[in-house]
Amino acid sequence: MDILGAIMLGIIEGLTEFLPISSTGHLILTARLLNIPQTEFVKTFEIAIQSGAILSVLVLYGKTILSRPGLVKRVVVAFIPTALVGFVFYRFIKQYLLGNTEVVLISLFAGGIVLILIELFFKNKPRDAQANQNQDFSTLSYEKAMIIGIFQAISVVPGVSRAAATIIGGMLLGLPRTSAVEFSFLLAIPTMFAATFLDLKKTSINLTGQEWLLLLVGFMVSFLVATAAIKWLLFYVKKNTFVPFGIYRIAISIILFLIIR
């Protein structure tokens, strides 16, 4: 991988981390299209640069997090299921799932169908009444926080989309669409930082100076792009559904299946 490849993957990560279309899946597919081999470093790179996108959440929501200790507790509770799944199945996930194009394409396709079905389910329900209000997430029960975390744990499968899983979980539990999206942002903080730390701790490769440079470039690019993507998504969900994302997932999985196969 060269600098241009790191920039391209950083852009893809920043654009897709918080959209319900799977950032990991898009990184794997982009690397495949750019003929970047799925080496141990590339797999580590694809995990680590997600922390750049998560930094954008800290910048945008830092004051909210510091002013609501009850919110932090609920995010920690929601993080537990993913932490357990990731720790126990880390080696299996990295060896057999990450870089697996077939798994990504199937997950993208199936996830697109689920997104559309969820929106059809909510079609006759009133539009988010609190779309323009600040949701006090400290009122979310610990039980519901844990259930949302279980939904997120499913996203260890590449292509599922962490954002899609948590948003769907939140909506099914009664959170307004905008609130479900924002809780997904916050839950990403411990999830992705933990994933990066665990991978760097467990990986047996020794990064060279050039590889650290590539990580830094990908990190910074994903941070900048993700900041803009978060603001756009919050604006979008106030008046729109996730159906277009579902259609996109189905279409891109079919197109890439035809191209790659």
Across the 261 residues of the chain, what is the mean pLDDT of every consecutive 10-residue run? 91 91 83 83 83 90 84 92 86 74 90 92 62 56 93 89 91 87 90 79 74 92 95 91 94 87 66
- The residue segments making up the domain with residue 25 are 3-260
pLDDT computed for residue 205 by the predictor: 63
Instruction: Supply 42's token pair.
Output: 């590339």
Can you tell me the distance from the alpha carbon of 12 to that of 45, in angstroms, rounded to the nearest whole number? 13
Domain count, the chain: 1
Angle between helices 209-237 and 40-48 (to 10 degrees): 40
123-127, long-range: CB within 8 Å, 24+ apart, which pairs? none
**Would you tell me how many other CB atoms lie within 10 Å of the CB of residue 113?**
12
pLDDT computed for residue 132 by the predictor: 39
**Would you tell me how many other CB atoms lie within 10 Å of the CB of residue 261?**
8
pLDDT computed for residue 128 by the predictor: 47
pLDDT computed for residue 64 by the predictor: 83
Could you identify the residue written with the tokens 């993913």? 82
Can you tell me the distance from the alpha carbon of 146 to that of 152, in angstroms, rounded to the nearest whole number? 10
pLDDT computed for residue 65 by the predictor: 85
Helix (H, G, I), strand (E, B) or coil at 6: helix
DSSP 126: P
pLDDT computed for residue 131 by the predictor: 43
Q: Are 206 and 64 in contact (CB under 8 A)?
A: no
Question: What is the signed CA dihedral for 240, 245, 250, 253, rounded to 10 degrees?
Answer: 170
